[in-house]
A and B are shown apart, each in its own frame.
Chain A
Amino acid sequence: MKNLNQLTVSEAKARLKAKDFTSVELATACISQIKKYKQELNAFITIIEKEALEQSAKADKLIADGHDLPLLGIPLALKDLFSTKGIKTTAASNVLKNYIPEYDATTVKKLKDAGAIILGKTNLDAWAHGSSGENSDFGPTRNPWNTKYVPGGSSSGSAVSVASDMCLAATGTDTGGSIRLPACFNNVVGLKPTYGRVSRYGIIAMASSLDSVGHFTKTVGDSALLFNVTAGQDIMDGTTLPEPVFDFTRSLEKGIKGLKIGIPKEFVTKDIDREVKVAFEKSVKIFEELGAKIFEVSLPYTEYGIAAYYIIQPSEVSSNLARYDGIRYGADRGSFGDEAKRRIMLGTFTLSSGYYDAYYKKAMQVRTLIKKDFDDAFENIDALISPVCPTLPWKLGEKINDPLKMYLSDALTVTANIAGIPSLSVPAGFSSNKLPIGIQIMGKQLSEELLFQIGSAFEKQTNYYKEKPLLR
């Protein structure tokens, strides 16, 4: 018998409706789990217990009155990059350690309007700058599968909170892999949607042409349920797409017989860790068993992904972080941590007079070529699969003094951001020392429904998501 906090969103929804238990009981179980592992995992920056229980009580009343909302009474956590009215929003940086927004991000408002209960704000690499979860000014998050290892970043606390059953789902942002990498390192499902499919309004900006807003869930079906709430055009974000939204769960049971799935050969090179490769090859066999046709495809510009990304992203970071002047809100620029300083300076340099053409313009041209690689591939196939990270989770401290080495952890994830395509990270097994391994399923822009369909078939066949970290 599962504890309440271990339920998936869809299980909890059905049982709340059946009045098996109350939303207050569900939220209480989550909060007690958050508190129990607060020190050990450092997944949360702010816990909002009182408000959460008040909202749960309201949800219970609505349920009793027969109301039905998509996430009514479901406890969630938010990456501390999402503005929350009246609740501290820090970006895990000392610059914003006392900042209290006067408004909710659009995504937060949508989740609340759908009946979700916000339990708290999760830890991250400050400003979402990082691949390990160690760059937080409030201390590193730890991997619940083995606390000596990194949980992956930047959405470290959100991934850990879902993996360790502190909430039923959590939000994240993915600029170069910040949802998929921690999802992969924690054995949970992570969705990076199409650029512009979910509003960025009110989410502290990292690199505006790459940022996409997604979430972590225990199952692929739950990911679709949340996407039903968050996707859609927003007048407050001019880059949101006008395409209509529909029920993204409608293809979950369709199976994948006859689908054409490509393996980009540049993603599965000799640089990939042996155990990651073995798990990936095993996954490919499962897709074949499920009836998909597997093709090898070539995305020749993949190897330039990180180089283009480390020009485009810091350039946009330097511009977005220029607003922090310590006057209107937040502390002064002396409070930025090392990684923010590095990226601000790198971007300032690549955008500076005389260097713009050689760096930023060049990278934007390479962006065209990387996008064309994907466009060409998707003319012939339905989706691409690859490992999420070239390596297994690494030990805390291992890469912290070598920024370039840390940056290369995102080699397999950045190109999806560069091309604006969606990608779903799903659990794909474990290493010999029981650390999670994941694969990502990428599709053309606006193909999230197909990614859920593929991910769901794979998940039902493998059931890796049922394995949980052994927390002391």
Chain B
Amino acid sequence: MISTSLYFIVFGGAIGGRMTPIGGIPYGAFIVPGLIMLSILTESVSNASFGIYMPRFSGTIYEVLSAPISAVEIVLGYVGAAATKSMILGAIILATARLFVDFTIIHPLTMVAFLLLTSIAFSFFGFIVGIWADGWEKLSMVPLLIITPLTFLGGSFYSIGMLPPLWRRIALFNPIVYLLSGFRWSFYGSADVAASVSFGIALAFLALCMVLVAWIFRTGYRLKA
């Protein structure tokens, strides 16, 4: 919440005033979806990966593995907890943003759907990271070196339409562009790519993560010898 406020003071207040509106949206309002997305992505991955890595590291995972609960229930617990936390965080940032800038959400239901889908998909991704990591460096590496740069480059603070043509084409390989674009569409009704494409890509990412998690439990990869 503090970092969100800082972002708004710096980008919204100080710089935003000198920026021309993007697609008819004042800059301060334009960055709201991007900021929420940035927080949700990094928090989902960090929380979910830390959540499963910690018991693996301390050894308390034995209890979860020996309890009369299924793999689905274990995943539901860990991923559900991380996704819930992300959703709450998203709501807090949204409320905080409202204090600084004025905006309306055109498609609130779609907005919530995107928020939910992103939180769940990236919590799944974080769970995989937490299983894969065999040290603290790897655990912090993924949010730091992959998620944050991709989110920044994915247009949290600008429209990829503002990029030179070559970079715009490269940006389309960044999956986070689609998430951001779809999320922003739910706010303001305009986007870099079609909302349906965004939704499809987010769903595909979630499906891929679920397949990987299923594989982890089937083979016991780094969880059960």
Q: Note whether A and B form a binding pair.
A: no
Q: Could you list which residues of chain A lie within 8 angstroms of chain B, going by C-beta atoms?
A: none
